[in-house]
Structure 1
Amino acid sequence: MDNNVESVLLYDEEGKEIEFDVLTKLDIKDKEYVIVAPTGEEDIDAIALRIEKDEDGNDILVTIEDDEEFEMISEAYDAISSDDI
């Protein structure tokens, strides 16, 4: 995924398109992740997604379901977020 991407469009369970701001991109253990938050929504938590490639080589965003992987990403994001303060 291009480091200059500022927002992405994702779809909810009903197929409604929602714009998300890309807060940061992380490279951890040879995997890429993005942290996103709904555009204009300040009271909604950020979401971590893993970047994978589809069969055509295009980037796709995948929900992280493994608790250990999610915790690793959360800790990395918290560390860089606290550095920004």
Structure 2
Amino acid sequence: MSEEYGSDFLTITDDEGNSYELEHLDTFEHGEDLYMVFLPADLDEKDEDYGLIILKVVEENGEEILTTVDDEAELEKVYNVYMQLLFEAEEEQARAAEGEILPLEQDE
């Protein structure tokens, strides 16, 4: 997971010309694919579509673009991977706050 601080905002435009401002939360790899996680900047918790937006980074004509994850199984899988990464990061922060010494990461 990325270790960047502060908020990054991105405006994206869909195929119909609608613009959306998103807050970039994280970027992570799963398998050989790269995904970016966002929240809508105009977040309304009462909206039924409230929640994380996960977009896939793909290369098209030599340029990286963001695309929706249309396959429900893939979306569920990467959502679960992201939630696990988030849980592990929070767990590490909690241990660090308690003064617990964290093991060194080893390259595999």
Common fold by TM > 0.5: yes
What residue in structure 2 maps to residue 53 of structure 1?
59
Shift of 1:51: 0.2
Identify unmatched segments of 5+ residues in structure 2: 92-108
What residue in structure 2 maps to residue 24 of structure 1?
26
Distance 2:17 2:51 in 1: 20
SS of 1:41's equivalent in the other structure is: coil
Greater relative CO (CA pairs within 8 A, separation 6+) = 1
Distance 1:34 1:65 in 2: 15
Greater strand content: 1
Report runs of 4+ in structure 1 exceeding 4 Å deviation.
Answer: none
How many equivalent pairs are there?
A: 82
Greater Cα radius of gyration, structure 1 or 2: 2
What residue in structure 1 maps to residue 86 of structure 2?
81
Q: CA RMSD in A?
A: 2.3
Distance 1:16 1:75 in 2: 29
Shift of 1:14: 5.0
